[in-house]
Amino acid sequence: MAPPKRRTGGRVTPKGTKPGQLPKASPPPIGGGSSSGHSATVGVGASSRYTPPVPRSVKESPKWVPILMCIFLALGAGLIMTRYLAFDAVGNWLVFAGLGFVLAGLYTATKWH
């Protein structure tokens, strides 16, 4: 029987430190002044990390993408089946062309949203 897996919960090092780095005694005040005489903000505010929502037109693919994908896949499968059912002595160029069309269909499928 396998030994139980080690379960740890949460962060091991204090926030803001890296492995091997000693933790600071106390975190610096956010938005406080510095010792050089000018008042600069120490941390980055949450508002600077705002990401606007992606427009719906960017999320959706054009109508021709799934149509082209189906055409490529059907043409590739058709070429491979034609090679083995109709042409025995033609060579392997039909198989390679069919595999190329199937790969083009799979590539097009990755662009479909």
What pLDDT, in 10s, does the model give residues 9-61? Answer: 777 777 777 767 665 665 555 655 555 555 555 555 556 678 888 887 778 88
- Say if residues 76 and 101 touch (Cβ distance below 8 Å): yes
Percent of residues, the chain, with pLDDT higher than 90: 35
**DSSP, residue by residue, 62-97:** PTHHHHHHHHHHHHHHHHHHHHHHT-SSS-SHHHHH
What are the structural domain ranges in the chain? 66-113
- Is pLDDT of 3 > 70? yes
pLDDT (mean) for 87-96 = 86
- Is pLDDT of 8 > 60? yes
pTM above 0.95, yes or no: no
